[in-house]
Chain A
Amino acid sequence: MITESTAIVYGTVQPSFSAFRGAMIYTHYQVRITNFYKGSSVFGYLDLAVPGGVVNGVRQAFAGSPTLVPGQSYFLFLWTSKSGLTQIIGLSQGLFNVSTNASGQLVVSRGATTETMLNSAGQVVNDSNIKMTMAQMVSKIQSVLGGSGQ
């Protein structure tokens, strides 16, 4: 997921709007970036699109599309298509909630799968019920990226 992502960020979601893109509706969120761990933006924010939404009374809802809560902060693994649409990797797999533990550390978590899996290239993907401090997550990202931050 780290290598497949075009951007990895920690940021806060701002209120959204929905719009057609071709025949499909996407709900767009503005993510104000607190930190980039892969990729960059000169604006300090990016536009995140999630399949589904409501436009002029027409509603489209992708099964599995997450609903982001405005004002809430997330740790996000993002992917930008050739046409410039930025989405969360694997609908929800790249979406992590952020909370604070008893020690005051930021913790990223995603309750879901509990098994080691392979990605399409046959490589192991550690998808186990992920919960770790943000510092640990950042360290893992930097390790995979060779410490380049890109």
Chain B
Amino acid sequence: MMRLSVRGRAARCAAVVAGFFLLVNSGWGYYYYTYFNSSSAPYTPIPCRFDLTALVNNTVPFFISGTGPSAFYPGDSFPAVISQITAAANIWNNVSTSSIRLAYGGLYNPGTTQSAPGIQIEFSDDIPPGLLAVSAPETFGNLATDSNGTFIPITLSLMVLPTNLPNVFDGPSYSEEFFVTLVHEFGHTMGLQHTLASSVMSTYNTTSSTKASPLGADDIAGISLLYPAPNYLASVGSISGTVTLNGAGVNLASVVAISPSNPAIATLTNPDGTYQINGVPPGLYYVYVHPLPAPVEGEGSPDNIFYPHNSSGVFLAPNTGFITQFYPNTQSPSPEDLIAVNKGAVTQGINFNVTPTSSPGISSVRTYAYNANAQTYVVGAPVMASATTTVAATGEGLLQPYTSSSTSYSVTPGLNVGLLGTAAEIGNLRTYSPPNPYIAVDVTVANFSGPGPKHLLFSTPGNLYVLPAGFSVVDMPPPVISALAPATDANGNPAVAIAGLQFQPNTQIFFDGLPAVIEQQSSNLLIVTPPPAPAGYTAAVVALNPDGQSSLFLKPGAPSYTYGATAAPFALTAGPSLVVSPSVIPAGGSFTVNVQGTNTNFIPGVTTVGFGTSDIVVNQVTVVSPTQLQVTVTPTVTAPSSNITVTTGLEVISQALGSQIAATDNPQQ
């Protein structure tokens, strides 16, 4: 069934800037939460970000409210939600060109205050209709400087999720929507704002992200420029220039570097129209500029951007009244318009003189591909090579306004849908019947176009809209899981057999949010060792393919697997409990906590321990035996109200220090 969610995401950034200093930032990027140290040109953007020097191992701990959600989809559970949150954090941890890392620090009691930087994830019923979640980095007015420039340190980030999950999300915690939302919100907590490159930090209305491939090149550049790994900046190049309208600089114009063979990377202009796109891999790129789109439901500003403000505290609103155009001032880019980007160098002088318009034009377009076999539309718009696929699109300006007297939809006069440089045919532009406000086209991709994202051009007379990653070329349909059953691997160890279709060499299998170990593989059968979970735990099983497709594409309801009572080693003993000594951790210096378990199965390298606050740093977890842990911690302040959370796979045991044990494994609420 075709779905359209118009629910948006919002983000917030808190900052009080007490003073500014004129320093240069190497991490020039404009979809961060940005402040300027002046009220006139030249503008030096100052982003807010975590101070890595204040973190242990560049790692920001995140903590999840122990209250959990109040309502789940049938079969869903709090441990499953926790596992998905952790998996979403790991998406960012896997960016090799970024130095920042996220680590699960256990459950916390709402109201817990902490002095060290961290991220708190809470569940609230105060999120108004129209929003999926809200997140924000929070800062005070102090500035800091490191080798990457001046910044405003994030002291705490909040991620607020709805407490009633079925009321807001289209599916359980394993769903595409919930997972991509989590990845998006983590981006906000680290300092990323919305972008317009169809990546995970795009607004929900334009993202092409999927659970199997959530990050785009723009996301990777954004986080890597904010927290660059060694040698990253020398490995990429930049494009710079100015966007003017009638001779004046255009504020918050989106400038995008894009090529048929590369995903898009974007930035926003400064108040004087200057811009610099950093983090661009070497290669040839088209460059285009477009206005921020008008807000849609759930958004309060163009692209839901938190505007930058200057040294006078004035928020600097965008100029959105101009027409999209490619460099050099054309709407019909040709190969000779490609710009060369070299590593460690800035390609300068890519300037635009844009044309004003009062028409809102086309914006906020999202696409879906029709899978004829399953008779369903899927996100990410996967299109098979050498085949014809229907791609549906929804967005602003594609259709004529629909009124109460309308009986059908009509395409905006003069609308044309084309491609940026890809060998493909697009035709049969049409609409659907009410109440489905979509257009559709048939896309036939040449066999030699290569896999990956392709970019769509939507044009009307005198105007243009570019949708990066409008569809993605794939070599085979999505993976399908048809059956699961207990099995043994080649060594006779207990395992799970997963039968299905379209499994690829790098297919990943997830039990809720945790990966299984694939022991044997063919295109239609996998033998896997599941992650540990308590006996009786029921996990949703999802296959993710490296081409961005998942088994949820065709069957949004994932098959489940219930851990048996005798399927050791991955089925854990039910009814675990803990005795922690001492129950109060003194402040100062390294300290060892002994955790004695009953009915526990602690596993070296798998069992983790957290105390629900960034003020207790876990240095080492030693598994003495399946029932005993020794945890070395460094408390910065006395935290008598903290919890201890011991997590082994999908088993979560949490208790308040010094109180009775509360096991929370698999409540199946």
Contact = CB atoms under 8 A, between A and B. Distances in A.
Nearest to B306: A63
Interface residues of A, number: 49
B131 interface: yes
Contact of B300 (A25, A92, A118): A92
Nearest to A50: B300
A64 to B, nearest CB: 3
Interface string B276-293: 000000000000000000
B21 interface: no
Question: Counting chain B CB atoms within 10 Å of each CB, which of A115, A120, A124 scores highest?
Answer: A115
Given A90-B131, A120-B7, A115 B14 contact: no
A125 to B, nearest CB: 7
A62 B12 contact: yes
Interface stretch (A37-45, A51-59, A101-109): A51-59
Interface stretch (B143-151, B235-243, B398-406, B594-602): B398-406
A122 interface: yes
Given A4-B129, A61-B306, A91 B10 contact: yes
B301 A63 contact: yes
B15 interface: yes
Interface string B107-135: 00011000000001010111111110010
A150 B656 CA distance: 46
B300 A83 contact: no
B493 to A, nearest CB: 45
Interface residues of B, number: 62
Contacts of A116: 399, 401-402, 409, 437
B295 interface: yes
Interface stretch (A7-15, A16-24, A28-36): A16-24
A63 B305 contact: yes
A69 interface: no
Contacts of A119: 6, 297
Contacts of A72: none
A52 B13 CA distance: 9
A23 B156 CA distance: 10
A126 B404 CA distance: 9
B318 to A, nearest CB: 12
B126 A21 contact: yes
B14 A59 contact: yes
B8 A90 contact: yes
Contact of A22 (B110, B134, B360): B110
A148 interface: no
Nearest to B139: A59
Interface string A67-87: 000000000000101110101
A126 to B, nearest CB: 7
A57 B140 contact: yes
Contacts of B299: 64, 90-92
Given A51-B12, A57-B141, A89 B296 contact: no
Contacts of B306: 61-64
Nearest to B14: A60
Nearest to A86: B128
Question: Counting chain B CB atoms within 10 Å of each CB, which of A83, A91, A119 scores highest?
Answer: A91
A149 B158 CA distance: 38
A64 B297 contact: no
Contact of A93 (B298, B398, B401): B298
B195 to A, nearest CB: 13
Contacts of B298: 64, 90-91, 93
Contact of B396 (A58, A60, A83, A115): A115
B514 interface: no
Question: Counting chain A CB atoms within 10 Å of each CB, which of B3, B156, B295, B434 scores highest?
Answer: B295
B130 A93 contact: yes
A83 B395 contact: no
A60 B397 contact: no
Nearest to A113: B296
A112 interface: yes
Contacts of A23: 120, 122, 156, 158
A85 to B, nearest CB: 5
A115 B4 CA distance: 13
B16 interface: yes
Contacts of A83: 125-126
A141 interface: no
B130 A24 contact: no
A81 B14 contact: no
A62 to B, nearest CB: 4
Contacts of B436: 118
Contact of B295 (A54, A64, A125): A64
Given A91-B299, A119-B6, A124-B434, A59 B15 contact: yes
A42 B142 CA distance: 46
Contact of B294 (A65, A112, A120, A124): A112
B158 A24 contact: yes
B196 to A, nearest CB: 14
Contacts of B10: 51, 62-65, 91
A42 B63 CA distance: 42
Question: Counting chain B CB atoms within 10 Å of each CB, which of A58, A61, A122, A128 scores highest?
Answer: A61
Interface string A107-146: 0000111111111101111111100000000000000000
Given A22-B122, A127-B297, A58 B193 contact: no
Nearest to B1: A122
Contacts of A129: 360, 401
Contact of A66 (B11, B16, B300, B437): B300
B324 interface: no
A122 B435 contact: yes
B136 interface: yes
Contact of A24 (B160, B397, B437): B160
B431 to A, nearest CB: 11
Given A83-B126, A127-B297, A115 B399 contact: yes
Interface string B371-399: 00000000000000000000000111111
18 contacts: A4-B129, A51-B10, A60-B14, A62-B300, A62-B306, A63-B300, A63-B304, A79-B129, A81-B128, A83-B126, A89-B128, A90-B130, A91-B299, A118-B435, A120-B5, A122-B4, A125-B297, A127-B296
